[in-house]
Amino acid sequence: MATITKVSPLAPAGFPDLPVIGGVRFATVAAGVRYQGRTDVMLAVMDLGTSVAGVFTRSATRAAPVLDCQDKIGGASDGPAAILVNSGNANAFTGHYGQTSVAEVTQAVSDATGVPVARVFTSSTGVIGEPLPHERIVAQLEALNGALAPDAIEAAAQAIMTTDTFPKGASAQVEIDDKTVSVSGIAKGSGMIAPDMATMLVYIFTDAKVEQGALQQMLGAMTDRTFNCITVDSDTSTSDSLLLCATGASGVDATGNVAFAEALEAVMLDLAKQVVRDGEGATKFVEIRVTGAASDADAKVHGLAIANSPLVKTAIAGEDPNWGRVVMAIGKSGAAADRDLLSISFGDILVAEKGWVSPDYREEKAAAYMKGQELVIAVDLGLGDGQSTVWTCDLTHGYIEINADYRS
């Protein structure tokens, strides 16, 4: 691993205070899976009555833990549950040995915690193609189980980091029936980030009670509007996993509650944006708002074409208001566009309209805008009502430095 000591310039001021979620406890340990001198394994255990929903990478070369989680999510009941995550090794493309490692680790978690194997979910993130030294994890399980504590979520966020430069957390609280329902989530991810999904691990916990089928449905829809709308480099990991656990400890059934759904989606969007803010080498956080497309799906295709274009991303890195590259990206996206109906704005500055540069456009003004750290590129296609917003970062020397050296 390259030594990445500098925190992203786009990082939040610090890790937020996350509300403790009743029915969830965390523990972490330095098991020496790959890294030395830092924690690299995190265990979360959820009490009886917890629903677990999950969304996973669609990669055809999915890692062994992902395949195991996918098998289990469908059959999950509302008994107790556990999540074990290691960083440093992805246990991906490790043949049959990979499945053995998952079986060893999940059995050890079950033995230590009393959670049935069918309710033990694992994730691994790090290098691909090297056998997971699962015995180093197994050896720590009794200690991990003994250390479980309700307020250790920040430590959990730290243990799952790989090239991340800061731990990521977000929360929300809503009042339902005069009771407070809380949502707290953590995430990791920095490179290999693209929709469907990213090199991203996300764990979200709530003390609301939501039946598993309803929880899974909410999670899928919200993922499409949050984590599947971010991209760092268009590359998709073999390990992406998002698990959402509803413990019910608040005593509030939030199934179908709009305020709860909004709170959950806000936490997901916050975490998704933090992943972009930690994009490898990122110096600018960019929101791309596409409106006036023939459909929402077309708008997202255009948005992602802009967000993934190396030429757009390098122009942003160079603080160059190079709207011609935005035109290029729209043109190549494959979704419907009419050159002469397009308009493009950088922030409040109308750059191009009706197939040409806006008569009021002044390059100096746009160049000054591009010096900001938070940028908005707005595109209106003038075709229909379709819209989508995606988030990305710039492409800099930092990305090359990290990825030409780091074996991930």
Residues designated catalytic: 199
Binding of residue 309 to a copy of itself (CB under 8 A): yes
| Secondary structure E strands in 168-246 | 168-176, 179-188, 201-206, 230-231, 241-246
Stretch of 136-144, 153-161, 215-223, 327-335 contacting a copy of itself, by CB under 8 A: 327-335
State which of positions 92-131 bind a copy of itself (CB under 8 A). 92-98, 127-130
Binding of residue 59 to a copy of itself (CB under 8 A): yes
**Contact call for residues 392 and 198 (beta carbons, < 8 A):** no
Q: Tell me, by CB under 8 A, how many residues bind a copy of itself.
A: 68
How many residues make up the chain in this entry? 408
Stretch of 13-21, 53-61, 143-151, 175-183 contacting a copy of itself, by CB under 8 A: 53-61
Binding of residue 337 to a copy of itself (CB under 8 A): yes
Q: Are strands 285-293 and 356-357 parallel, antiparallel or unpaired?
A: unpaired
Stretch of 40-48, 104-112, 114-122, 321-329 contacting a copy of itself, by CB under 8 A: 321-329
In the bound complex, what is the minimum distance in angstroms from residue 156's beta carbon to a copy of itself?
26
Residue whose pair of structure tokens reads 């190396």 in the numeric block: 310
In the bound complex, what is the minimum distance in angstroms from residue 12's beta carbon to a copy of itself?
26
Binding of residue 220 to a copy of itself (CB under 8 A): no
Residue 41 in tokens: 């394994």
DSSP structure class, residue 20? P
Q: Which amino acid is at 132?
A: L
Provide φ and ψ at 217, rounded to 5°: -65, -45
Binding of residue 1 to a copy of itself (CB under 8 A): no
Binding of residue 288 to a copy of itself (CB under 8 A): no
Dist CA 290 CA 193 (whole Å): 20
Among 320, 368, 382, 389, contact with a copy of itself (rule: CB under 8 A) = 320
Burial of 219 (0-12, 13-18, 19+ CB in 10 A): buried
Binding of residue 269 to a copy of itself (CB under 8 A): no
Binding of residue 60 to a copy of itself (CB under 8 A): yes
Beta bridge partners of 345: 350, 378
Q: Which amino acid is at 12?
A: P
Dist CA 72 CA 75 (whole Å): 5
Residues in the site for a copy of itself, rule: CB under 8 A?
A: 57, 59-62, 90, 92-98, 127-130, 191-192, 194, 196, 233-238, 308-311, 314-315, 317-318, 320, 322-325, 327-333, 336-340, 342, 352, 354-357, 395-397, 399-400, 403-405, 407-408
